[in-house]
Homo-oligomer: A and B are copies of this chain.
Amino acid sequence: MQYYALFVHMIEVGVMGASGYAGRELCRLIAGHPSLSLAFATAHEQRGESLALPGGKSVTFCAADDAPLSRAALVLSALPHGASRPSVEAANAAGARVVDLSSDFRPGHGADGGVPYGLTEVHRDAVRGAKLVANPGCYPTSILLALWPLLASGRLAPGTTIHASAASGVSGAGNSPKRELLFGEVSGNFRAYGVGNSHRHLPEMRATLQHFGADADLLFTPHLLPVTRGILATVTVPVTEIGDDPAALWREHYAGERFIEIAGTPPALSDVTHRNVARIFVQRVAHVRTPTLLILCAIDNLVKGAAGQALQNANLMLGLDEGAGLPV
């Protein structure tokens, strides 16, 4: 048994908006990444506070103005929706590539035609080499990965409605103190919100359906689960035809994808938490006249639905191995 010294050049990256659940997850994943080191982590209200990281490391949050932007080859922004744009543009102007986790640059949110939508498995080529990538929302990640093989192959029944009922852990709602997010309010409870197609993740899903030329409506109902992390999307889709093995289309489209699992049984949140994977199950629905598929997709909303996918995109943008530092 012989060991060689291994010198690896570490690329410096920064995190903006690091004190929320997604921002903290970003810092933790970077701390365990073989080729990245954390140049800074900004957090306005919690500047001066320390965050413990794996391997005995830690980082102290700094104010946005004190971030050494020029040191970072890439910046990941977990700033709130609506507040991210100026900081993202400043980071780009300082020469850093940016992955933005807010909705500010996502499709359906205004006139940013040129910004790739970082649903990595779908838009990999556009992400590679991009200066700025709009990281998808957590719900859209689960629902669009469930639908993509149908969208790409044109097998959606035209003029129909896709139903997506999804449930998310509370970390998706952030860690700002609100009464409705207290343990006493969430524990033992369950409720829908953003009902009637009013959730802010709808536009990017509708824009993506349109991008693929899908002639279908989407009816999306999110729910709040009494769990910390994880999303399960329950999607039903009228299709033009169903063969004997409906999951075959998914296995084919996702062949070779290391972060997509096609499961033989309905996925549970516990199958995917703390992992950068989407676990998908497909089944024909019985007792309905219209040929219909049930597609279940489980992800960790903080990993594949946020920080993990953001790093997957960052890896591509930096020319690193796409899966570096990502838990599977």
Contacts and interface: CB of A to CB of B under 8 A. Distances in A.
A111 interface: no
Contact of A183 (B3, B161, B183, B286): B183
A86 interface: no
A258 B15 CA distance: 28
State the number of copies, please: 4
Contact of A266 (B167, B191, B225): B191
A192 B236 CA distance: 13
A198 B55 CA distance: 34
Interface residues of A, number: 82
Contacts of A51: none
Given A54-B327, A195-B266, A196-B294, A227 B177 contact: no
A273 to B, nearest CB: 7
A189 B218 CA distance: 26
A285 to B, nearest CB: 5
Contacts of A3: 6, 8
A196 B144 CA distance: 20
A197 B236 CA distance: 12
B227 A192 contact: no
B187 A183 contact: yes
Given A2-B7, A170-B184, A189-B227, 18 more contacts: A56-B328, A161-B289, A171-B184, A175-B184, A181-B183, A183-B186, A183-B187, A186-B187, A187-B187, A187-B228, A188-B270, A189-B230, A190-B268, A190-B269, A191-B268, A191-B298, A192-B232, A217-B288
7 contacts: A3-B6, A6-B6, A188-B230, A192-B266, A197-B286, A223-B232, A226-B226
Interface of A: 1-9, 21, 52, 54-56, 159, 161, 163, 165, 167, 170-171, 175-179, 181-193, 195-198, 202, 206, 217-219, 221, 223, 225-228, 230, 232, 234, 236, 238, 258, 266-271, 273, 281, 283-290, 292, 294, 296, 298, 327-328
